[in-house]
Amino acid sequence: MALRDLLVYVDQSERASERLRLAADLAFRHQSRLTAIYVKELNAAQRHEQSVAELGQASSEAMTRTNRRIRKSIDEAAERLRTVLEEVKREHGLEVEWRCLDGIGSIVVPQHARFADLCILGQDGPATDTGYTFSEQLLFVTGRPVVFVPAHGSFDTLGRHILVAWNSSRASTRAVNDALPLIERAKQVTVLAVNPVEFAKRYGALPPEQMVAHLRRHGASVEGIWLNDISPESIADAVQAEAHKLGADLIVAGAFGHPRLWEKMMGGVTRDLLARMNLPILMSY
């Protein structure tokens, strides 16, 4: 399946324009339509500012000024990002759409994301009632693969060299399958299996060479690397360290968890990758 519809969520954060440019580069290489979605909601700092004014029993005039200043900031951020979208449209000759919406991001965005082949989000989205960020929540509620772009670091490309974190699980299988359009067009793909012997003994998994062969049949240039004797709490760091060493610009990993029981059911490696990511990560659930 080709990537025909990409969706990138942008917000008031300073990283949003970089995320938009990364999405545009990916859309250009895959000849995809790019939709940028922006929700006109308050960020954490603005909610705090509003709350302080209310608790301080500011006058109605002061509250009005505060609300106007916040609304102006939200609108100005939207205009800056819409301008960036127009720039990348001209630069790459893309088909693009700008959606500037009212509402709550964690409610609005999933409805639009379900009509995209891939969603690109920042790591540090707004908080939700679940205690997780909106970006993390979107992973579990959309049924679509999600690319998380870290809150820190600089990234020029997305999906030119892909590292697949493989452990023969249902989750990693789903992630690899959803990433196939990216894998097939990548210049280089590395399959990384952590503690494969232990996993084979515990679950009767086939050797990771099987996945290398499978992806080669999809036309990808693939190599395999196996890391042994890695402690469970170090797996996420080991995966990212290997990705950096290889020069990968995207990690593909399965997400373990259940949307109704995230706190108890989200796998430790999934939590660690999301919390300590330093490279873009594609996850599926």
Q: CB of 139 within 8 A of CB of 255?
A: yes
d(CA 168, CA 85): 39
Q: What structural domains and CATH numbers belong to the chain?
A: 5-149 (3.40.50.620), 161-284 (3.40.50.620)
Q: Edge to edge, what strands does the sheet with 250-254 contain?
A: 96-101, 33-39, 5-10, 118-122, 146-149, 281-284, 250-254, 161-166, 188-194, 222-227
d(CA 220, CA 210): 14
DSSP string covering 226-264, please?
A: EE-S--GGGHHHHHHHHHHHHT-SEEEEE----TTSHHH
Residue 247 burial (C-beta neighbours within 10 Å; 0-12, 13-18, 19+)? exposed
d(CA 259, CA 42): 25
Q: CB of 272 within 8 A of CB of 251?
A: no
Quick one: tokens of 27? 């859309």
Q: What is the pLDDT along the chain (285 residues), one digit of tens a residue?
A: 689 999 999 999 989 999 999 999 999 999 999 999 999 999 988 888 888 877 776 788 888 888 899 999 999 999 999 999 999 999 999 999 999 999 999 899 999 999 999 999 998 755 555 566 778 788 888 889 999 999 888 899 999 999 999 988 888 999 999 999 999 999 999 999 998 888 777 778 899 999 999 999 999 999 999 999 999 889 999 999 999 999 999 999 998 754 444 444 455 677 778 878 899 999 988
DSSP, collapsed to helix, strand or coil, labels residue 136 as helix
Backbone angles phi, psi at 60, to 5 degrees: -60, -35
- What's the predicted TM-score (pTM) here? 0.90
Q: Which residue has the tokens 């339509």?
A: 33
